[in-house]
Amino acid sequence: MVGMVPADPGVGGTPAAARLDRESAEWLRGLGEVGPQREAALARLHELLVRIARGEVARRAPRLRISGPELDDLACQAAADALLAITGKLGQFRGESRFTTWACKFVIFEVSAKIGRHFWRHPSVPLDAEDWDRLPGHFGFDPAYQAEWRELFAALRRAVDTELTPRQREVFVAIVLNNVPLDTLVLSLASSRNAIYKMLFDARRKLRAALAANGYLRDDSSRRS
């Protein structure tokens, strides 16, 4: 958990076994068989995963520097890896959703991971570059009003240097200054999405508190967004 309150009801717990819908039960039965019936179920599932992966990379394509056959390869690899993940986790399916929704979640995750890996292999900027001049533009500050926000960013930079741990600073610089995808940083730092997000979460909280303490932002850190 990142925040300070208990998790949502049902999150992370062991809910009572849900009643399976007919289609989900058929999927589980087919994948639990041996021989041709299992092969047929696997082929159907793979076909579904490829279709979902292709749709997902197409949805994300306008924001990526990948296209054509390379993008389709990425989708096919994501589907193949998701199929492996799903067959290895069948016992973890609790029937809280349709089986296909649960299965499609894994192919979406695989697409994210593969895109992160692609950026890691082909970075557009060094992960540790520090171009502070880009930061105001990143948040949409108008250069014409630089006199009004110059001090704010000087204070923000000071807070980054003095309030954050070295690891939090590294994560902040990579993600916020350099626009490195979080999933790429996961690979670069041999970490997890949850751990990197937690570091950025704590960094955001510290930086906001520092800016509020110095009068640059409203001091209502306890307010929920």
Partner 1 sequence: MNGWAELDRFLRTDTRDVGCAQAMEMLHVYAELVAAGAPAEQRYPGIAAHLRACGPCGEDFEGLLAALRDDAY
Q: Write out the residues near partner 1 by the rule CB under 8 A.
A: 1-5, 7-12, 48, 51-52, 55-56, 59-60, 96-98, 100-102, 104-105, 108-109, 111-112, 136, 139-142, 145, 148-149, 152, 156, 176, 181-183, 192-194, 197-198, 201, 204-205, 207-208, 211, 217-218, 221-225
- Minimal distance in Å, beta carbon 101 to partner 1? 5
Quickly count helices (H) and strands (E) in the chain: 9, 0
- Among 178, 172, 169, 171, which Cα is nearest to 192's? 171
- Is 37 or 185 the residue whose CB approaches partner 1 more closely? 185
Nearest distance in Å: CB 98, partner 1: 7
**122 Cβ partners below 8 Å, 6+ apart?**
65
What count of Cα atoms within 13 Å lies in the side-chain half-sphere of residue 47?
A: 6
Region for 165 from its dihedrals, namely left if φ exceeds 0, alpha if ψ lies in -120 to 50, beta otherwise: beta
Instruction: Quote the least distance from Cβ 164 to partner 1, whole Å.
Output: 12
**Those residues with Cβ within 8 angstroms of residue 44's Cβ, 6 or more apart along the chain or in another chain:** 30
Nearer to partner 1 by Cβ, of 4 and 34: the residue is 4
Q: How far is the CB of 191 from partner 1 (least distance, A)?
A: 11
